[in-house]
Chains A and B, each alone.
Chain A
Amino acid sequence: MVLCFIALPVFALLGLFSVRYRELSKEAIRCLFRTVTLKPCDTGLDQRIRSKFTAKLMFWPSLARFVYAQFTILSWFFVILLLASAFFSGQGLYNYAAYGNCNGQNSNAFCVFNVVRPEQQECTTFDVKHELYPFNVKTKGHPVRGNPLAKLTIVEYGCYSCPYTKEAEPAVRQILKDFPEVNLVYHDVPLSIHSNSIEAAHAALCAQEQGKYWEYHDKIFERQDKLSNETFIAFAGELELNVTQFSECYSTNRYQNVVDQEYNDALSVGIYGTPTFFINNANLVGPQKYKSLKAVIEKEMPR
């Protein structure tokens, strides 16, 4: 009865919560022992499992007949699947414990263990979380925040209307304050799921034209819940920009090609959600805590 290989861990786990399953796990242990010693299971557990499975499929007699007749082969198939999945889970757990990523050192692939961490939430329009391509990241010609001669650059892909990008802002600013040898390059990826994200991208570039990109950047995040055409103009006034020039720039979408280019660049990097951070080849997706950013920076900082 090969299915006892699966039955044992399942019943043992359930047995933590119910006495009924403890008895079943004892039967599974006995069956397992007898199977390993090439003897037939004598507890009836195999029959009960096979019959229960088959009975559940009685609405489809052909399928039920197949399951009943080929139960041993199907059991082997599931046992192999279990062993393979146990192997890969173990490997993932080891990687997670050793490198903080279940896919191994320096991997930027999606890690299931991270998904429950708050910092792994992100704004996205993409269904599939996939590999990122840090070698496509561009920094040249982009506004830089912090020391222009810094040894290490954080490249952030964010969206002005994304709440998670806003959530990451304090940690990023604190990092720049605590690490003078680190600077920041921000790429705007206006996601269509948010209202006013594209307008915000345009407005920030119009502010850059007047040399106040970062001030305008901060203003947008400060007032993220009140973004509109009117507030974008108002922000310009508050930052003592030339409002007429700003309004003309904003209303004519002067930097449309830059906005489009930025978005296409983000796609080429494989961005599937904002914020995404690159620090050298390491990447972090989601609103990172100060501690997480600091750990990567300390690791990546040139000696």
Chain B
Amino acid sequence: MNPEKIRNDFLVLNQKKPPIYFDNACMTLKPRQVTDKIMEYYNEYPACGGRSNHRLSRKVTEEVLRSRRIISDFFNTKKTEEIIFTRNTTEGINLVANSIKKGDKVLCSGKEHNSNLVPWLVRKDAVHKTFRFNDIEDFNAKIKNTKLVSIVHVSNVDGTSNNVKEMIKIAHENDAIVLVDAAQSAPSREIDVRKLDVDLMVCSGHKMLGPTGTGILYGKMEVLEQLSQFIVGGDTVKNTQYDSFEQEGIPERFEAGLQDYANLIGLGEAVRYLKKAGRSDIEKHETRLNEKITEAFNRLGIDIIGPKEPEQRAGIISFNVGKMNHHDVALMLDSNNIMIRSGMHCAHSWFNANNVQGSARASLYLYNNEEEVDFFLEKIEKIVKIGK
């Protein structure tokens, strides 16, 4: 993987004064191939998919199917139909949460994004339990009578991972099904859903070079068949009477209304781009850059949230500069054309439980390079002096 060559594909990085974009855990940039593909839909076949029988409509249907196949192949699903398009990870989790029944026990880790916490909390008839993040012993202790385990793969707070493979094994031994939030892992980790034996998995297109408003829900066919319909209406039914309806097959029954064809087609192109770049190479590249940042942070005495070893945090460095407010750090970097995130990163529960006010978070991706890291560290060093 050649980051310099890759950078040429991102128009925003080819401006006169390109931003140093280290907010990839929130949203990644989009390569030209993705935006071109989106424009191809609007310019060449801007029609309905799966409904009309004319040439343009058939083209849309084919392109969306192509996109679904690329994604299916990317995650090595058994069937293409096991890929459901959603608007984002949050919608995918809500779709699953909609099927939870009264008294069902849902087990989550203690470092979940609000999207994998609130959908369970609003189901007051369900029983929500929490285990310590990546603590197999605690997981084992709490798995009994669990209906669904819903866990984050890679935490957006600090980049650490749950041992999902082991947890899935234990969950299955206890007759629980597992939903993995792969929003942070899918963009840069090799995920083979069959090897992982995961029942359900969700991720977002916008964090993996794809368009905004696109997400993926993977589910084993037998699990998807158990799920209740979530949003219903056009395209989710085969036939209706005044007093009844016959639901569509999978995946259509979960994709209500006219779809965002342009972006779904763009998402397929983004996944194709990622496959070509190689996820293991992306992960190695992120870790290499993170090593450099971690080494400098340790020298400067900056507090890193999470383990000290960069390989355990992949492309994420969540940190605080002394007593300086994390928003101040981000705003000062912004004034120097460096974009990072600050705050509680939609994981308020973890920050509140650990009595941490928030953090600044730099997150790396395939197009970031050493030159950017050096500039970032140069500015951080000055901020450290200001905060002393």
Contacts and interface: CB of A to CB of B under 8 A. Distances in A.
B328 interface: yes
B336 interface: yes
Contacts of B383: 58
Interface string B320-357: 00000101100110111000000000000000000000
Given A47-B325, A47-B327, A55 B335 contact: yes
29 contacts: A47-B325, A47-B327, A47-B328, A47-B331, A50-B328, A51-B327, A51-B328, A51-B331, A51-B332, A51-B334, A52-B331, A52-B335, A54-B328, A55-B331, A55-B332, A55-B334, A55-B336, A56-B335, A58-B332, A58-B336, A58-B379, A58-B383, A61-B382, A64-B382, A64-B385, A65-B387, A65-B388, A68-B328, A68-B386
B386 A54 contact: yes
A48 interface: yes
A51 B332 CA distance: 5
Interface string A47-79: 110111011101001001100100000000000
Interface residues of B, number: 15
A48 B335 CA distance: 10
Interface string B69-88: 00000000000000000000
Interface of B: 325, 327-328, 331-332, 334-336, 379, 382-383, 385-388
A41 to B, nearest CB: 13
A44 interface: yes
A54 B332 contact: yes
A61 B385 contact: yes
A130 to B, nearest CB: 43
Given A44-B327, A47-B325, A58-B379, A65 B386 contact: yes
Given A47-B327, A48-B331, A65 B385 contact: yes
A240 B379 CA distance: 82
A58 B328 CA distance: 13
Contacts of A58: 332, 336, 379, 382-383, 386
B256 to A, nearest CB: 36
Contacts of A54: 328, 332, 386
A44 B330 CA distance: 13
Nearest to A55: B335
Residue of B325, B335, B385, B387 most packed against chain A (CB within 10 A): B335
Contacts of A50: 328
A58 B379 CA distance: 8
A69 B385 CA distance: 12
A64 B386 contact: yes
A65 B328 CA distance: 13
Interface residues of A, number: 14
A114 to B, nearest CB: 40
Max chain B CB contacts within 10 Å: which of A52, A58, A68?
A58
A185 B305 CA distance: 85
A54 B331 CA distance: 10
Contacts of A61: 382, 385-386
A61 B335 CA distance: 15
A212 B385 CA distance: 79
A53 to B, nearest CB: 9
B343 to A, nearest CB: 10
Contact of A51 (B335, B379, B382): B335
Contacts of B328: 47, 50-51, 54, 68
B100 to A, nearest CB: 36
A20 B327 CA distance: 21
Interface string A165-178: 00000000000000
Given A58-B379, A58-B382, A68 B335 contact: no
Contacts of B388: 65
Complex A-B, nearest 3 residue pairs according to Cβ-Cβ distance, in ascending order: A55-B335, A51-B331, A61-B385
B103 to A, nearest CB: 40
Contacts of A64: 382, 385-386
Nearest to B327: A47
Interface in A36-50: 44, 47-48, 50
A44 B326 CA distance: 12
A58 B331 CA distance: 13
A48 B388 CA distance: 20
A47 B360 CA distance: 14
Contacts of A48: 331
B15 to A, nearest CB: 20
B252 to A, nearest CB: 43
A51 B382 CA distance: 13
Nearest to A48: B331
A52 B334 CA distance: 9
B300 to A, nearest CB: 13
Given A47-B328, A55-B336, 9 more contacts: A47-B325, A47-B327, A51-B334, A51-B335, A55-B332, A58-B332, A58-B383, A65-B385, A68-B328
A5 to B, nearest CB: 21
A98 B328 CA distance: 49
Nearest to A57: B386
Contacts of A52: 331, 335
B312 to A, nearest CB: 31
Contacts of B332: 51, 54-55, 58
A61 B384 CA distance: 9
B355 to A, nearest CB: 20
Task: Point out which of B325, B383, B386 has the most chain A C-beta atoms below 10 A from its C-beta.
Answer: B386
A182 B386 CA distance: 70
Nearest to B335: A55
A50 B379 CA distance: 17
